[in-house]
Amino acid sequence: MNLRNFYRRSSTNLNKIMIILSGGTGTPKLLRGLKRIVPEENIYVIVNTAEDRWVSGNLVCPDIDTVLYTLTDRIDDDKWWGIKGDTFFTHEILKQLGYLEPMMLGEKDRSTHIFRSEIIRDGFTLTKSIEDLRAFFRIHAKVLPMSDDPVATMILTPRGRMHFQDFWIKNKGKPKVLDVIFDGLDKAEPTSEVKNALKFEDSVIIGPSNPITSIGPILGLKGIRSMLQKKKVIAISPIVGGKPVGGPAAKLMSAMGYDVSSAGVSQCYADFLDVLVVDHRDDCVIPEVSVLKTDTMMGSLERSIELAKFIVDLV
């Protein structure tokens, strides 16, 4: 479908508010396409914060930062974290001094963390710090942390409990996973900005993110699942050709008792899912869910735009 036909067919949807639940890789790939076909101010991204961690004195928010950098076209889209062309002198010198930071942080990226942490140290919320960053970066889309309360994803392994980042970065995702625990989630509240965004819209998109560690914490916040049960929910499966495109989703899904397939993804969302968009390479029949097939592999900006058009047509 060319862009002119798309605009003619989708003119009403282009002015609709698009609410999207996001992690830090698959959904940002969709956002880079979406922001090119709908007015950016109509995009509301509710982002996972359960992978956030204080590193070297500052709060690193991997999923939020990937969303911010994607919306400003500065994301390093080889790795899908950090800023294109960033330098890593501080991280390297700290390593020479004998302190290995748990995550690689570039200089430009680190300035985001310092700025955000100063706002939090001054007594303001994470949401306020992201509002300030959004204004500084001139981002028109709303970027909403799921909660201002701290939540930490912990992985239980035979070697003990470890932070998700230590499981994935330091231990390269190798330990057997016995359980996934979200410390603090039972006490965490969704922000009023998140609740308002969900209250006024009748449809919600769940991007192709890890259903356990990226979308799971958002769904675990008080009241979110019951709000979604009243809406049309469209999810895009992160499974392509029978496996995740990258990341630990397969290991985490099977550890939590889900089949590693689009059907398994739909089980994670079983109580509210209406439409599941799956890759055209995968066979998938799911009772009570409308399954739509298309090419969901977003290896380029053009592919992200094509998938975004497909989703906008559904909303």
| DSSP secondary structure code for residue 219 in this structure | H
User: How far apart (Å, rounded) are the C-alpha atoms in residues 246 and 239?
Assistant: 9
Residue with tokens 């969302």: 269
Count, residues near ligand GDP per rule CB under 6 A:
22
Helix (H, G, I), strand (E, B) or coil at 22: strand
Q: Which stretch binds ligand GDP (CB under 6 A): 36-44, 109-117, 144-152, 234-242?
A: 234-242
Q: Which is nearer to ligand GDP, 227 or 301 (CB)?
A: 301
User: In the chain, count of helices (H) and strands (E)?
Assistant: 13, 14
Nearer to ligand GDP, 119 or 218 (CB): 218
Determine if 106 is a binding residue for ligand GDP (CB under 6 A): no
- Contact between 247 and ligand GDP per CB under 6 A: yes
What x/- string results for residues 270 through 309 when contact with ligand GDP is judged by CB under 6 A? --------------------------xxx-----------
Indicate whether 145 belongs to the interface with ligand GDP (CB under 6 A): no
Nearer to ligand GDP, 145 or 244 (CB): 244
119 close to 126: Cβ distance less than 8 angstroms: no
With CB under 6 A as the contact rule, the residue among 33, 82, 216, 238 that binds ligand GDP is 238
| Closer Cβ to ligand GDP, 223 or 299, answer by number | 299
* 63 contacts ligand GDP (rule: CB under 6 A): yes
Rounded CA-CA distance 182/161 in Å is: 11
CA distance 125 to 191: 10
Please choose, out of 21-29, 135-143, 149-157, 187-195, the segment that lies near ligand GDP by the rule CB under 6 A: 21-29
Instruction: Give whichever of 27 and 58 is closer to ligand GDP, judged by the CB atom.
Output: 27
Residue from 82, 217, 244, 264 touching ligand GDP (CB under 6 A): that is 244
Nearest to 64 by CA among 78, 79, 77, 75: 75
Q: Which stretch binds ligand GDP (CB under 6 A): 85-93, 130-138, 204-212, 283-291?
A: 204-212
Residue 19, beta-bridge partner list: 44
By C-beta, is 58 or 209 nearer to ligand GDP?
209
CB of residue 275 vs ligand GDP: minimum separation in angstroms? Answer: 15
Task: Find all residues with CB under 8 Å of 61, minimum gap 6, and list them.
Answer: 47, 49, 51, 52, 113, 116, 126, 130, 145
- As given in the structure block, the two tokens for residue 287 are 């009772």
* CA proximity to 294, closest of 286, 285, 302, 303: 303
Q: Is 245 in the site for ligand GDP (CB under 6 A)?
A: yes
Q: What is the 3-state secondary structure (H, E, C) of 175-190?
A: CCCCEEEEECCCCCCE
Measured in whole angstroms, how far is the alpha carbon of residue 55 from the centre of its chain? 20
Stretch that binds ligand GDP, among 2-10, 53-61, 125-133, 208-216 (CB under 6 A): 208-216
